[in-house]
Amino acid sequence: MESEAENSSGKKTPLSYYYETFELDTYFTQNKIKIPEVEKPGFSFRKLWAFTGPGFLMSIAYLDPGNIESDLQSGSVGRYRLLWVLFTATILGYLLQSLATKLGVVTGLHLAEMCYRQYRKFPRLVLWIMVEIAVIGSDMQEVIGTSIAIYLLSNKVIPLWAGCLITIADTFTFLFLDKYGLRKLELFFGILISIMGITFGYEYIVSGPPQEEVVKGLFIPWCQDCDSKVLLQAVGVIGAILMPHNLYLHSALVKSRDIDRKNPKKITEARMYYYIENGMALICSFIINIFVVSVFAFGLFEKTNREILNECPKNESLVYDRAKEVFPDNNDLVDADIYRGGVYLGCTYGAAAMYIWAIGILAAGQSSTMTGTYSGQFAMEGFLDLQWARWKRVLFTRSIAMVPTFFTAFFSSLNELTAMNDFLNAVMSLQLPFAIIPMVAFTSNPKIMGEFVNGMVLKVIAIVLSVVIIGINIFFVTGTILEQDIDPDIYIGIGIVAALYFTFVLYLALHLYVSLGNKRIESHPWIQKYVIYAEMNTPKRTA
């Protein structure tokens, strides 16, 4: 059964792009948002409003506690000198998210579902495991960040492990909001983003960093007198912003709108509105990130523990007692994290600033934990072609991420948990090729995208950016490993894992090269046997 579209002359012509008549049973199959028809041609705010939602859910990953901690560390280590890196990383993120949007809109399949159709079983399972590792790493940052926020708000009454349990429980509760309509769920996320904007914006206003320095840091790519620590932090900013599982998430979220994919004009229209919405969402997240970097660039850059402790009013025992715990009476530079950051704000601007900071972190952690759960579910159902009941999918994917998080929180101290951020960013950076390479391969494959395939310029830009981003993240991971006090014998194991890792990356790169349309290499017997198969570009059809 061939899918067809009606052209201007009224004749039906086969669609040039990948089209399945088989509707997959995902969250949005029975709950899609209708796109209004308008009489006037051209741009419509009504349509933009109908398409608004997925981009803001996606942007949550740019505001999770791991990113917030990376922001405050880049401010305390590099002052305003790394704001342009944040700006650049956000632009790169927009380009990658746009490709994810394009894949979902054109094919009607999200990235994990397309991986199921394009890769053989073994590499597909390895990809799924890598994505799950990224989800677990991100989820640990999110849940631990939420637990720290609860710890701050409860005046240390609720321990971190109990905060983890609370986060698990309320995540299950909030996730079922879409039972009352997808729009209500999107509204809830909008409220959480607004809370982050208000709380972190408040800290920005009360601290009052010099605006000319902020603007200079944003638009002048400079890093005067930067040492290796600052450069490594700059790479860490990019690693924290570009999340591999977020590409899988976004390609699935865009399926929530009822788009007539048999009509290429409707696809073009949907892509345009999604690109606008993506831009608006990332601008909001970017502004919030600027708030955090600037606050701590102004307050913690080259500050010692003793200076912060001396600035903390002793008559406010609620804050001062916490300051004594986290800021030793020495001349070491402050090692910033989200907990110390909150205590510093309480010392400098009053206890209210500390609690407002904690509320912002709570909103960031809660919202990102929910989107992380969605990412895990989309990955599992796509890579494994599972059609479980919804509660089973939620329970299974939450258990994969939450069990290691809970035990980590239970058996670790606050200092150990807050020190895990760089390690977890390194883990997620390693998974980035397993999202970028497949996405570039699929959107550059003419058999999949047809008339919507990436043009030559976009292909070159996407591939070059992919190589640069992956290289930067590998540099970050290597630097993070070298900073650790590791037994020399362990380096042998690291070398073996690294060899396997790069072998698999090269395999994916070979698949990408074939996807670009090289007929000569595609017909090679080894490629036919191990890389592609005859059914890989054949859509599923209903009878």
The CA distance from 371 to 250, in Å, is 10
Has residue 463 been placed in a domain?
no
pLDDT at 535 over 70: no
The CA distance from 462 to 436, in Å, is 9
Contact predicate 417/424, CB 8 Å: no
The values of phi and psi at residue 247, to 5°, are: -70, -40
Q: Give the model's pLDDT for residue 494.
A: 80
Band (pLDDT 50/70/90 cuts) for residue 145 is confident
Comparing C-alpha atoms, which of 151, 58, 65 is closest to residue 420? 65
Contact predicate 320/314, CB 8 Å: yes
The CA distance from 286 to 55, in Å, is 13
Residue 209 belongs to domain with CATH number:
1.10.4160.10
Q: Give the model's pLDDT for residue 30.
A: 67
Comparing C-alpha atoms, which of 336, 434, 339, 340 is closest to residue 383? 434
pLDDT at 457 over 70: yes
Has residue 438 been placed in a domain?
no
Has residue 485 been placed in a domain?
no
Look at the block and give the residue holding tokens 């979220």: 253
Q: How many helices (H) and strands (E) does the chain have?
A: 25, 4
Which is more confident, 307 or 495?
A: 307
Prediction pTM value: 0.89
Rounded to an integer, the average pLDDT of 41-47 is 89
pLDDT digits (tens, 9 = 90+) for 247-285: 999 999 999 898 988 899 999 999 999 999 999 999 999
395-429 b/e (C-beta count within 10 Å ≥ 16 → b): eebbebbbeebbebbeebebeebbebbbebbbbbb
Contact predicate 245/138, CB 8 Å: yes
The CA distance from 81 to 91, in Å, is 17
Has residue 458 been placed in a domain?
no
Has residue 530 been placed in a domain?
no
Has residue 103 been placed in a domain?
yes
For β-strands 33-34 and 12-14, DSSP reports them as: unpaired
The CA distance from 119 to 134, in Å, is 20
The CA distance from 169 to 175, in Å, is 10
pLDDT digits (tens, 9 = 90+) for 110-125: 999 999 989 988 999 9
Has residue 133 been placed in a domain?
yes
Contact predicate 27/17, CB 8 Å: no
The CA distance from 237 to 92, in Å, is 12
The values of phi and psi at residue 110, to 5°, are: -85, 175
Rounded to an integer, the average pLDDT of 235-258 is 86
CA dihedral (416, 419, 421, 423) positive or negative: negative
DSSP secondary structure letters along 64-123:
SHHHHHHHHHHHHHHTTTTHHHHHHHHHHHHHHHHHHHHHHHHHS--HHHHHHHHS-HHH
**10 Å Cβ neighbour count for 246?**
29
- Give the residue numbers spanning the domain of 402: 42-432
Band (pLDDT 50/70/90 cuts) for residue 466 is confident
Counted domains in the chain: 1
pLDDT digits (tens, 9 = 90+) for 206-233: 999 999 999 999 998 887 777 777 877 8
Query: Which pair of tokens denotes residue 176?
Result: 């079922």
The values of phi and psi at residue 386, to 5°, are: -90, 140
Least confident range of 42-56, 120-134, 308-322, 529-543: 529-543
pLDDT at 348 over 80: yes
Q: Give the model's pLDDT for residue 177.
A: 67
Q: Give the model's pLDDT for residue 459.
A: 87
Three-state secondary-structure class, residue 6: strand
Look at the block and give the residue holding tokens 């650790």: 484
pLDDT digits (tens, 9 = 90+) for 360-419: 999 998 888 888 888 888 888 888 887 777 667 767 766 776 777 777 777 777 676 666
Q: Give the model's pLDDT for residue 102.
A: 95
The CA distance from 274 to 267, in Å, is 10
Band (pLDDT 50/70/90 cuts) for residue 9 is low
CA dihedral (252, 99, 188, 152) positive or negative: positive
Has residue 198 been placed in a domain?
yes
Which is more confident, 14 or 204?
A: 204
Look at the block and give the residue holding tokens 């990224």: 134
Rounded to the nearest integer, the mean pLDDT of the chain is: 84
Least confident range of 3-7, 171-175, 240-244, 452-456: 3-7
Three-state secondary-structure class, residue 12: strand
pLDDT at 509 over 60: yes
Rounded to an integer, the average pLDDT of 78-104 is 92
